[in-house]
Amino acid sequence: MDGKKVILSGIQPSGALTLGSYIGAIKNWVELSEEYECYYCIVDLHAITVRQDPATLRRNTLTQLAQYIAAGLDPNKNVLFVQSHVPAHTQLAWALNCFTMFGELGRMTQFKEKSVKNPENINAGLFTYPVLMAADILVYQADLVPVGDDQKQHLEITRDIAQRFNAAHGDTFKIPEPFIPKIGARIMDLQEPENKMSKSEISAGRVCVGDRPEDIMRAFKRAVTDSGSEIRFDPEAKPGISNLMQIYAVCANKTLAEVESEFSGSGYGAFKTAVGEAVVETLRPIREESERLLGDRAYLEKICADGAARAARTADKTVRRVYKKLGFVAV
């Protein structure tokens, strides 16, 4: 794939794909996919750090693949694959575990939050989660990682691990940069605009890519707004309206200033309806096409197999290189 810069990113199939992940990640994946050599995966190995029902996980994985394609990721131009199909991720993760410090993993916000939410299952996988994520990225020698704001800390530790390995064994890994969108990097729950819209918590303020139009409209009409009546971008003073403005700006392809002037003088009710309609129209083709694709399981399985083979070709090279540098005997 012709000297292009490399992108890697992934989403956990631990629940339905949310509007947050669509705006924070997938939309940018599609936009970047022309310019870069792209590896986009479904990170099922990461998902099992929290207990999953196997049948649901399997269904979510295939649904997510169908949604990637339906959102505009052409499987011929991008390498679309399932993480557990490419053993190089875990092979590299073990080696990187030995270059990652206990203390730095203990400082990870996501680990701390998930430990509070799942006190009965603070497993070692949850703790070493960022190392597997570093392996996902470094095994492809990725230049750029398009993610939402909440993954910033994981990108920082990835860079630290790569630098530590390079310092010990010579230049081995490219140091990746995060790509975090200016608008929509942190979409908030429509009912609790102080909290991130989350995949794992079912809430009336969560909108998913596969939701029906009437459910999307209901969620937006009921969205919590702020006191006052002005449509103005001010995340501190007006978290609810500012969140809706970001969603509208991305879905209607406008700047925040354009959104402000378009709705100056209109009430919150009319604005919420307009945001809901823009989201419905953005998600409708994705939902319809992904439902069609899900009817053709053989096609999706073929995409998985092709994607895994293409991903492994790149990833295996890195593992061989790393294992050699570490002093493992080659066969």
Catalytic residue numbers?
Answer: 114, 196, 199
Stretch that binds ligand TYM, among 9-17, 57-65, 249-257, 258-266 (CB under 6 A): 9-17
Cα distance between residue 13 and residue 42, in whole Å: 6
Among 44, 136, 143, 192, binds ligand TYM (CB under 6 A): 136
Beta-sheet strand order (sheet of 37-42): 79-82, 37-42, 6-11, 144-146, 177-179
Stretch that binds ligand TYM, among 5-13, 94-102, 227-235, 253-261 (CB under 6 A): 5-13
Closer Cβ to ligand TYM, 10 or 276, answer by number: 10
Nearest to 36 by CA among 133, 139, 151, 140: 140
Cα distance between residue 271 and residue 135, in whole Å: 43
Cα distance between residue 331 and residue 328, in whole Å: 9
- Under the criterion CB under 6 A, does residue 176 sit at the interface with ligand TYM? no
Asked if residues 17 and 68 have their Cβ atoms less than 8 Å apart, the reply is no
- Under the criterion CB under 6 A, does residue 187 sit at the interface with ligand TYM? yes
In the structure encoding, which two tokens stand for residue 216, read together?
A: 């999307």
Stretch that binds ligand TYM, among 12-20, 273-281, 297-305, 322-330 (CB under 6 A): 12-20
- Under the criterion CB under 6 A, does residue 131 sit at the interface with ligand TYM? no
In 197-286, DSSP assigns E strands to none
- Under the criterion CB under 6 A, does residue 96 sit at the interface with ligand TYM? no
Among 12, 60, 61, 242, binds ligand TYM (CB under 6 A): 12
Nearest to 260 by CA among 276, 278, 273, 248: 248
Binding mask 147-166 for ligand TYM (x = CB under 6 A): xx-xx--x------------
Among 5, 169, 186, 320, binds ligand TYM (CB under 6 A): 186
- Number of helices (H) and strands (E) in the chain: give both, helices first: 14, 5
Q: Which residues contact ligand TYM (rule: CB under 6 A)?
A: 8-12, 18, 20-21, 23-25, 43, 46, 133, 136-137, 145, 147-148, 150-151, 154, 185-187, 196-197
